[in-house]
Amino acid sequence: MEEDKVTCGVRTVVVYGPSGMQRQTRSVHCPAGNGTVSLEHCETCAARVATVASADGDRTHLACRVDAEHPARAVTVSELMPRTVVAVRPELRADVVLLALVEHDRGGAPVVDEAGRPIGMVSITDLLDEYQAMRRAARSPAEPPSRPRLVGDVMSSGAYTIPDGAGVEEALAELTRRNVKRLMVVGDRGQLVGIITAIDLLRACPELPRRSSPALAEAHPCRFHGQSATGEARLQDRERLSA
Ligand code: SF4
């Protein structure tokens, strides 16, 4: 049987609960068609050729030998999504999540149950009441603090998911069907392994032009030159208008 060498990315899920980080799991979508496997499982697999690590020692990819004809070698959402996702448990205090989202420059976080399955999403806009409560407490420190809300009190329940082995077309169709911008990516047991957005998927579409300039120039004819404006010309236009 002819074999080929392929690489697959290691995904990391970090889950925070009331007592801090509760779990950190590393997994891989196996290109040989073995589903979602733990990184520890890969380390003992006969098909593994090498484990690639970053400069700080974090294992990022695996190289494996797979059947050259294997259909599972198509690009999957697992290969396109960001490698690390931070999730929270519903028992975590909402004000703590607000501070963490601001600190990590994130607009939201998936909420998972005890088994790591996605059950909802908490976004920064769900947490604006926590910000107001913090302001009130800072202004009137003598007032008794209000009962802190938990993630479970403020999150949007429900999760739109896609299996980690799904292809680009399938994921785009699901986004369209659900009319959402992102999907939670799940492994074989329904556990969260990542998040994929429409942007992640569209970047992988070979039909899309690599550069936006020609399409944008067509959409915004330049008033000074009587022709399509490049990004640079539009910048000059703006400078002239504001002078
Ligand atoms: S090492 Fe083995 S189990 Fe792990 S991804 Fe490669 S083929 Fe699959």
- Per the domain annotation, does 208 fall within a domain? no
Count of domains observed in the chain: 2
In a domain, 185, yes or no: yes
- Statement: residue 176 has pLDDT above 90: yes
Torsion of CA 217, 218, 220, 223, to 10 degrees: 90
> Do 228 and 185 have their domain in common?
no
Q: Alpha-carbon torsion 211, 216, 222, 228, what sign?
A: positive
Note whether residue 172 is domain-resident.
Answer: yes
Residues 236 and 193 in one domain: no
Residue 113 neighbours by CB distance under 10 Å: 14
User: Residue 182 C-alpha to ligand 1 middle, in angstroms?
Assistant: 27
Assess contact for 161 and 186: CB atoms under 8 A: yes
Mean pLDDT for the stretch of residues 71-90: 87
Residue 150: the pLDDT is 94
- The pLDDT value recorded for residue 68 is 64
Tell whether 135 is covered by a domain. Answer: yes
| Among protein residues, the one whose CA lies closest to atom 5 of ligand 1 | 30
| Whether residue 151 sits in one domain with residue 185 | yes
In this structure, the answer to whether residues 109 and 194 fall within a common structural domain is yes
Same domain, 189 and 225: no
Which has more pLDDT, 137 or 122? 122
How far apart, in Å, are the Cα atoms of 87 and each of 9, 16, 55? 19, 6, 25
Ligand 1 midpoint to CA 34 (Å) = 8
Domain-located, residue 42: yes
Q: For position 60, which CATH number holds?
A: 3.10.580.10
For atom 4 of ligand 1, the residue with the nearest CA is 42
**How close is the Cα of 117 to the center of ligand 1, in Å?**
23
Give residues (CB < 6 A) around ligand 1: 8, 28, 30, 32, 34, 37, 41-42, 45, 47-48, 62, 64
Residues 111 and 61 in one domain: yes
Choice from 7, 62, 67, 79 to test ligand 1 binding pocket (greatest atom count within 8 A of CB)? 62
CA 160 – ligand 1 centroid, Å: 27
What is the extent of the structural domain holding 69? 3-203
User: Looking at residue 228, what is its pLDDT?
Assistant: 44
Instruction: Give per-residue pLDDT as tens, 13-61.
Output: 999 999 888 889 999 999 887 789 999 999 899 999 999 998 888 889 9
Percentage above 90 pLDDT, the chain: 51
**CA of 37, closest atom in ligand 1:** 3
Residues 138 and 226 in one domain: no
Output the pLDDT for position 143. Answer: 75
Residue 77 has pLDDT above 90, yes or no: yes
Let me know whether 155 and 181 are in one domain. yes
Instruction: State how far Cα 241 lies from the chain centre.
Output: 39
- Residue to substitute in 48, 49, 61 for testing ligand 1 pocket (most ligand atoms within 8 angstroms of CB): 48
Taking 60 as the threshold, does the pLDDT of residue 105 lie above it? yes
Q: Report which residue type is found at 9.
A: G
Do 220 and 147 share a domain, yes or no?
no
Based on the fold, state whether residues 173 and 123 are members of the same structural domain. Answer: yes
Same domain, 142 and 233: no
Please check whether residue 147 lies inside any domain of the structure: yes
Least reliable range by pLDDT among 36-45, 68-77, 194-203, 227-236: 227-236
The reply to whether 227 falls in a domain is yes
Query: Bridge-partner residues for 62, per DSSP?
Result: 8, 51
Q: Tell me, yes or no, whether 232 lies in a domain.
A: yes
Mean pLDDT for the chain overall: 84
Gap between the Cα atoms of 101 and 96, Å rounded: 9
The more confident residue out of 243 and 114 is 114
Confidence check: pLDDT of 109 > 80: yes
Mutate to test the pocket of ligand 1, among 3, 26, 34, 49 (most ligand atoms within 8 A of CB): 34
Per cent of the chain over pLDDT 70 is 82
Query: What is the mean pLDDT of the segment spanning 199-214?
Result: 78
User: What's the pLDDT score for residue 196?
Assistant: 97
User: Could you tell me the distance, in angstroms and rounded to a whole number, from the CA of residue 111 to the centre of ligand 1?
Assistant: 28
Do 74 and 55 share a structural domain? yes
